[in-house]
Chain A
Amino acid sequence: MNEQEKINILMVDDQPGKLLTYEAILGELGENLIKARSGKEALDHLLKTEVAVVLMDVSMPELDGFELADMIRQHPRFQKTAIIFISAVHLTDVDRLKAYQHGAMDYISVPVIPELLRAKVRVFADLHRKTQQMETLNRDLRTLSARLIAAQDEERRRIARDLHDSVGQMIAALSINNALVFQEAEKLTPEAADALSQNTALVEQLSKETRTISHLLHPPLLDQIGLLPAIKMFAEGFGERSNVKVTVDLSPEIGRLSPNAEISIFRVVQECLTNVYRHSESKTALIKMWPSEDKLLTLQVRDEGKGMPPSNRAFASAGTKQGVGLSGMRERVRELGGTLEIQSGENGTTVTASFPVANMMAVGV
């Protein structure tokens, strides 16, 4: 088990004697104790160090504890910092409520019982530690998630390329050979000629199916030509496979983007259309992409189907109910610093993703 890192406890009181007392009481906890004799000192420390708990007297002569708490809470960084108020005065419930309204998380009255103070501080210290751990875990998860998505994309690209380079080329050679034999079909017996026709048809079917698999894995035009033709080609193929009429409206101003941006946007489109096909029962779909004000690039996919169930719409909650597709989409958008919004009702669903243009640009463009 790791030795736990010490957390910082800030003690604020204008009387040095009191500070020494708190120090004596809290010393046992083995954490870092920081002393501050004024509001200014307290704020200085807060700005310099990561403080887990602030201990302060409510009624210091020079400084109102509540006022200091207010100042602390207004700073976005310190909104969640735990504060324990110590009060000599007998506190009514109204006072306590006032303390909680100031964001205080606990209250201890004087005379301070050492065990009690230690216990309360320990609770907040643990809370702080757990919060830090959670934030680290979150960051790690996000990194892992991004890596997994990238690995998946890379593998799909590789498989599609292999399909093209080996299976695809063999099918091409087969087709051409068939065409060559076909030129001399009159030399064949009827049965042989028939077999040849069948072969030609079979190879064509083989080609079509392999191509579909390959295109679903990785858009063939994306790397070489760019996002817009890749989306158009996908929409066309999708329309044929699904019988959903897809309209594509992509602003021609949009040029090449970074490879990561292009594949991510493509995958979002792919996922949206897949959902349209699988769930919406919509006969039509619209894909729109345009540069909007505020230097944003916005993608929108809209259908006229029956809408998503509310549990899926609740996007903020990362439930396992949502399925990998939706979560993956959210992750891709987030990785590019974008926002994703889903509006869904009985008249259809609209998925809108907006990305800051700065994040989208290819290096060196």
Chain B
Amino acid sequence: MGTRFLIVDDNELVRRSLRAVLRTRPGWEVCGEAPDGATAVEMVRNLQPDLVMLDFQMPGMNGIETARRMLEIAPTAPIVLFTQHAGADLEKHALEAGIRSVVSKTNPSSMMGIIEALLSPRGVEQGPESSGPKSCDK
């Protein structure tokens, strides 16, 4: 059984690169790509991916607002925020919104390790680490 990723980023080059690198792992596939938050939320609803790679700075909703909406629909989907502005302050707000991890786009070396950790059985069990949505049975 493969692992299905949803990639959300307004830039085509970034999506392409991310798609390529994710597919180097056996069993990992990209089931959908979205250029903005609203489309991404719909895709989560329809595709129910195993993990979402979410850009922070996009036109319209930013990544954190998008994550909040997504978690309302799919409270257990691990979301990784993916950004040029990675840092402690953004991370704090991201975690508060229910995002599981923040990865720097321009220093992606830790990215694969973080994704693997989130996908591992232990990672899935952990569930949202902070004040995400209150109940999962909507």
Contacts and interface: CB of A to CB of B under 8 A. Distances in A.
Nearest to A224: B62
A11 B60 CA distance: 66
Given A169-B11, A183-B24, A176 B87 contact: no
Nearest to B92: A229
How many chain A residues sit at the interface, stated as a range, is: 20 to 34
A170 interface: yes
B90 A176 contact: no
Interface of A: 164-165, 168-177, 179-180, 183, 203-204, 207, 211, 220-221, 224-225, 229, 232-233, 236
B111 A179 contact: yes
Main secondary structure on B side of the interface with A: helix
Q: Which of the listed residues B16, B56, B105 has the most CB atoms from chain A within 10 Å of its own CB?
A: B105
Given A169-B14, A220-B57, A176 B21 contact: yes
Contacts, number: 88
Nearest to A226: B93
Q: What 6 pairs between A and B have smallest CB-CB spacing?
A: A207-B106, A172-B105, A176-B17, A169-B11, A173-B13, A229-B89
Nearest to A223: B62
B17 A224 contact: no
Contact of A171 (B62, B106, B109): B106
Given A203-B106, A236-B87, A176 B57 contact: no
A308 to B, nearest CB: 31
Nearest to A233: B89
Interface residues of B, number: 30
A174 B64 CA distance: 25
Contact of B84 (A164, A203, A224, A225): A164
B136 interface: no
A203 B107 CA distance: 9
A179 B84 contact: no
26 contacts: A165-B10, A168-B84, A169-B9, A169-B11, A169-B13, A171-B84, A173-B17, A175-B105, A176-B17, A176-B20, A176-B105, A176-B108, A177-B21, A179-B109, A180-B17, A183-B21, A207-B106, A207-B107, A220-B57, A221-B90, A224-B64, A225-B90, A225-B93, A229-B89, A229-B93, A236-B87
A164 B108 contact: no
B3 to A, nearest CB: 17
Contacts of B109: 179
A169 B64 CA distance: 19
B89 A179 contact: no
Interface in B77-127: 84-85, 87-90, 92-93, 105-109, 111-112
Given A169-B13, A180-B21, A220-B85, A175 B90 contact: no
Contacts of A179: 21, 108-109, 111-112
Given A169-B84, A220-B84, 16 more contacts: A164-B84, A165-B10, A168-B105, A169-B9, A169-B14, A171-B106, A172-B14, A172-B105, A175-B108, A176-B17, A177-B21, A180-B20, A203-B106, A221-B89, A224-B57, A229-B92
Looking at B10, B62, B87, the one whose CB has the most chain A CB atoms below 10 A away is B87
B38 interface: no
B18 interface: yes
Contact of A173 (B14, B56, B88, B112): B14
